[in-house]
Amino acid sequence: MNYSKQLIINADDFGWDEDSCQATIDCMEAGAITSATIMTGRPATHMACAYAAANAHRFSFGLHFNIVDQHRPVSRNQISLIDQSTQTFRRSGQQRKRAMLWQLAPLDLQTELLAQLDIIQAKGVKVSHIDSHGHLHKFPGVITALKKALQQRNIHRVRRPQNLYGPGSRMSTKVINRLSTPFFNALTLTDHFLTISNYEGQWFKHLLTLLPPGTTELAVHPGYGESWRHDETRPLLDQRFASLLTDSHTRLINFNHIG
């Protein structure tokens, strides 16, 4: 069959907790998820890293870079990234505003990225790519700073700003993503990126109708315990999953297959 569409299904938050980590592994073993990005400092980070180190030949694994939502930094003295009263990363909305205004110091971003990479690489993870919690890396001031740190580790694959959207997507988000894209020059990207939004039940069947020719990354957040994670997971474990891909002329790949 001629596959005009290539799809990477990437599990974000790998290592968030044991439930989410196990759901991600189940989806990978079922042949539905081809890639995952690992969070540091989480209850199941070790579990995620162990699986990634043992399965680098089957899937791609990256870093889910995190500088939001009151998590603690790995590196020290990252003044521009933290709330001084709590010594933790600011809440997502606050950090996004500072990122948009280029108020996050490049050296702080570079140092924290390298520290988080150190953690998972020390556990034997072969890092193929990076993305970020809350998509903070898409802002020009952030990705411009991170490029230098990524060059040090010879990592060139990065999640692109979103350019495919489901129903109800905000116009402001579309504008920001479009303006951010030129700052990703010299990096290796998929042609398209989208997330799950405003779909119920068989969201995957509906989503496949959005895919244009070329390579697309889809971000998912597996889990069983939280209802929203379970809703994202269920179609991936459906026995009809493989046939839906075939019918839409879509082939699953991972980040090691691009660039």
Question: Which CATH number is 126's domain given?
Answer: 3.20.20.370
* Separation in Å, CA 201 to CA 10, 31, 216, 224, 233: 19, 20, 22, 15, 10
Token pair listed for 147: 């490029």
pLDDT, position 169: 82
Task: Give the pLDDT band (50/70/90) at residue 201.
Answer: low
Provide the residue range defining the domain that includes 208. Answer: 5-257
pTM of the model: 0.95
Q: How far is CA 56 from the centre of its chain?
A: 17
Mean pLDDT across 245-250? 90
> Considering its fold, how many domains does the chain have in total?
1
Mean pLDDT across 108-121? 98
pLDDT surpassing 70 at residue 199: no
How are beta strands 127-132 and 192-195 bridged, if at all? unpaired
